[in-house]
Structure 1
Amino acid sequence: MEKSKILIVGGTGYLGKRLVKASLALGHETYILQREEIGVDIEKVQMLLSFKEQGAHLVQGSFDDQQSLVEAVKLVDVVICAISGVHIRSHQILLQLRLVDAIKQAPNVKRFVPSEFGTDPARMEKAMEPGRITFDDKMVVRNAIEEAGIQFTYISANCFAGYFLGGLCQPGHIIPSRDHVSLLGHANQKAIYVDEDDISIYTIKTIDDPRTLNKTVYIRPPKNILSQREVVEIWENLIGKQLHKSTISKEEFLHFIKEQDYAEQVGLAHYYHVCYEGCLANFETGEQAEEATQLYPEVNYTTVERYLRRYL
């Protein structure tokens, strides 16, 4: 079967650059939207040129020029959006909705993967403010996709390993300590940790798979469904020593959230739902969903232990 042509929007971002590499590695004709807004960001320009040398096609376009988006999506079969979540709320929604409008005008596009890749927003309608704004935004985009009759795949990749495992699940930490760790509550709620390169491989594998069409794909590596306490124990075994442990109660964490600025509150609220409530692993995926590691057992995913070894 001929492989789909893929356009990646946000191809120089944290996950986007990995999606580009995965797409090329799996043999897809790969296009990257080279946005005029990139300005004089020399690192991004050099990254794009590097991808071009590896066989990717750079497509000029701008979210300020709707026709350029239409022309870009007309070149491909599948569009993947990996716009970073660091954009302010209204800006990110606007960009994705403009992309949805462009796809509506390009009947050749047979699938759209919007910029999600974290917690499934459809399951977070009761999330606390202001963190729920992220999930509400993603549902606005989902509704626009489905109202337009665009075929889709939603990717729920749970916790990015670099952000969670690197800091032993502690907000604000990305390198594991060899001395101390703060446990969030009882630290027994299960979360799911996925290497960012693995997320990209699984995502690219879904795009030509009829089993994933118009479904949510959850990435749930069985060996990586662990509590914070279990993650810490793996790290302790690797370094051969016990860490000093303190505990942050639920009440303390909630109070801490209120003291932060708005952007920090959004991110910390997500940590609260993951680490104190176990929102990622406390449900069955359901009929309109698939699980990536079951669909693609040939992928040798990165276990938590293997991931943590890089910090030794």
Structure 2
Amino acid sequence: MSPNSKVLVVGGTGYLGKRLVKASLAQGHPTYVLMRPEIGQDIDKLQMLMSFKELGAHLIEASFSDHRSLVDAVKQADVVISAISGSSSRNHSSLIYQLNLIDAIKEAGNVKRFLPSEFGMDPARMGHALEPGRVTFDEKMTVRKAIEGATIPFTYVSANCFAGFFVGNLSQMSGFTPPKEKVTLYGDGKVKAIFLDEDDIAAYTIKTIDDLRTLNKTVYLRPSENILTQRQLVGIWEKLIGKQLEKSTISSEDFLASMKDMDYAAQVVVGHLYHIFYEGCLANFEIGEGGEDASQLYPEVNYTRMDEYLNRFL
């Protein structure tokens, strides 16, 4: 595979997608961004696409409801990365879109690597996940089955906890900025999780696309200094602000019981937090056959440490 493989990003105006577009351009790849017709009705997304174009990206018009347009778009690239946003509602459009994309990739026949919309917990390890959050993992496994059934070369990226959602708020369920007075710890707060700046997720992801070591593998993003317990994360913030927060704890039983008064989306979040901060699902296993550690593959990536990340809130 050429070191300058052509990359098509699907979902390039999304939360992670926009970072993947910029990382692809920064690493020297001819970069294409799928432009769906409805984006023309969204001024913010349209202006974002225009900014990508100014940076050197190519915009390709296609629709998930027009199979031929998807096939034609896919034919422009060597690598396809899906960054279609998942949903915490009962809307399964992300699954449908990805299955449509897989059909297009299969017909086009030219794609050397496909990276589906994963970027969180490894769904292959979440068969026991609680309802209703389990749907997230079940849908990702449906996509994996379709990819592998179509014998499409792939890389799955397990990026663990996005810093924007888990670090700025010290993993609280309210808002995205750090508490100044009080914090709730999940259990004893000593279960290890893994946190990554979203720009680093994008940088690691683009590194994988031309690497034969990651072909048909799951790549885990586990930068060593970002493997932290919730207590350690809180301690970093306390050191930065020079004061101790008032701490309370919530047991796993009480945390799960809180779901009964929540809407569907919040119940999904509670389930995921339970698996992360009570079970330790992100760091309680060794990477075995079929997996790779991005930190070992790409030690040159100067990833953001969480004290640096939290420092921006001062």
TM range (shorter): over 0.9
Aligned residues: 312
Aligned residue in 1 for 2:241: 239
1:83 is paired with a residue whose SS is coil
Q: What displacement does 1:246 show? A: 1.1
Separation (CA, whole Å) in 1 of partners of 2:216 and 2:285? 20
Partner in structure 1 of residue 142 of structure 2: 140
Alignment of 1:82 with 2:93, yes or no, is: no
Name the counterpart of 2:46.
Answer: 45
- Kindly indicate whether the alpha-carbon contact (under 8 Å) linking 1:171 and 1:271 is maintained by their aligned counterparts in 2: no
Range with greater deviation from structure 2 (191-200 or 242-251): 242-251
Percent identity over the alignment is 65
Equivalent residue number for residue 164 of structure 1: 166
1:255 matches 2:257: yes
1:194 maps to a residue whose letter is L
**Where do 5+ consecutive residues of structure 2 fail to align?**
none
**Which residue does 2:7 correspond to in 1?**
6
Does structure 1 retain, via aligned residues, the 8 Å contact 2:133–2:269?
Answer: yes
Decide which moves more: 155-164 or 248-257: 248-257
Aligned-residue offset at 1:39:
4.2
Once residues 88 and 22 of structure 1 are traced to their aligned partners in structure 2, the CA distance between those partners, rounded to angstroms, is 31
| Alignment correspondent of 1:101 | 103
Which residue does 1:25 correspond to in 2? 26
Kindly state the Cα deviation for residue 170 of structure 1 after the two structures are TM-superposed.
Answer: 1.1
Residue correspondence of structure 1 range 61-72 to structure 2 within 5 A:
61-72=62-73
Alpha carbons of structure 1 residues 147 and 183: separation in structure 2 relative to 1, 3 Å: same
Which stretches of structure 1, 4 residues or longer, exceed 6 Å deviation after superposition? Answer: none
Residue matched to 1:290: 292
Q: Aligned in 2, Cα 1:249/1:2: closer, same or farther, shift over 3 Å?
A: closer
| Residue of structure 2 aligned with 1:181, choices 174, 178, 183 | 183
1:214 counterpart residue number: 216
Aligned counterparts of 1:141 and 1:89: Cα–Cα separation in 2: 16
Unaligned regions of 5+ residues in structure 1, if any?
A: none
Cα deviation, 1:44-102, whole Å, max 9, x if unaligned, reads 00000000011000000000101100000000000000001137442111100000000
- Normalised TM-score (structure 1): 0.98
Aligned match of 1:73: 74
Q: Check whether the contact 2:10–2:81 (CA below 8 A) recurs between aligned residues.
A: yes
Q: Distance in 2 between matches of 1:171 and 1:149?
A: 40
Q: How far apart in 1 are the matches of 2:191 and 2:267?
A: 21
Per the alignment, residue 120 of structure 1 pairs with 122
Conserved 8 A contact 2:3-2:210: no
Q: Secondary structure at the match of 2:41?
A: coil
For 2:63, the aligned partner's letter is S
Structure 1 counterpart of 2:257, which letter?
H
Letter in 2 for 1:224: N
RMSD: 1.0
Q: For residue 269 of structure 1, give the secondary structure of its aligned residue in structure 2.
A: helix
